[in-house]
C-alpha cells in the first residue's frame, strides 16, 4: 500500500481537503497524511466546505512537515507550489507532484471550486496508484 503525504504551506485548507478525500476515496488502497511547511490550524471554511461534500475533516489536525521523515512516504503531493521549498529528500520520493492550486484562504468564495479540483486530482492520483 502506497503512503501519501499531502503538503502545503500551512496545512490549513488544500492539504487538509486532499487528506480528507484521500482517506475516504482511497480507504484500503493508500495510507494518507498531510502537513505544512509550518504548522497552523484547519480552517473552519475547509471543514464546512468538505462537510458540504459529505466528508468530515473536523478531527484532522495541522502538522508540520518537520514532524515526519521522507523515507516513510512513497508519494509526496504539494498543493500550493511549495515544492520548490521542500527539502530534496521529499521531492525525490517515488512520486512527486506539485498541483499549484489557488489558495482559498485568500478568497474564501473559491473554497467550493478548489475543493472540487482537489477531489478530481485525488481521484486521479488514487487511480494511478492502484
The neighbour count for residue 6, using CB atoms within 10 Å, is 28
For the question of residue 82 being annotated catalytic, the response is: no
Catalytic residue (one of 4, 7, 8, 55)? 8
Helix (H, G, I), strand (E, B) or coil at 6: strand
Across the beta sheet with 95-98, the strand order is: 30-36, 2-8, 75-78, 95-98
Residue in 43, 32, 39, 29 with CA at minimum distance from that of residue 8: 39
For the question of residue 80 being annotated catalytic, the response is: yes
The neighbour count for residue 71, using CB atoms within 10 Å, is 8
Residue in 91, 6, 73 with CA at minimum distance from that of residue 46: 6
Catalytic residue (one of 80, 101, 114, 122)? 80
- Catalytic residue numbers read 8, 80
Amino acid at each position: 500500500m502506497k503512503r501519501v503525504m499531502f503538503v502545503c504551506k500551512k496545512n490549513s485548507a488544500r492539504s487538509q481537503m486532499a487528506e480528507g478525500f484521500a482517506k475516504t476515496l482511497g480507504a484500503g488502497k493508500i495510507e494518507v497524511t498531510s502537513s505544512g511547511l509550518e504548522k497552523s490550524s484547519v480552517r473552519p471554511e475547509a471543514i464546512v466546505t468538505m462537510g458540504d461534500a459529505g466528508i468530515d475533516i473536523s478531527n484532522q489536525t495541522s502538522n508540520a512537515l518537520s514532524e515526519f521523515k521522507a523515507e516513510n512516504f512513497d508519494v509526496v503531493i504539494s498543493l500550493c507550489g511549495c515544492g520548490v521549498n521542500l527539502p530534496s529528500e521529499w521531492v525525490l520520493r517515488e512520486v512527486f507532484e506539485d498541483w499549484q492550486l489557488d489558495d482559498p484562504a485568500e478568497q474564501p468564495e473559491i473554497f467550493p471550486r478548489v475543493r472540487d479540483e482537489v477531489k478530481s486530482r485525488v481521484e486521479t492520483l488514487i487511480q494511478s496508484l492502484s
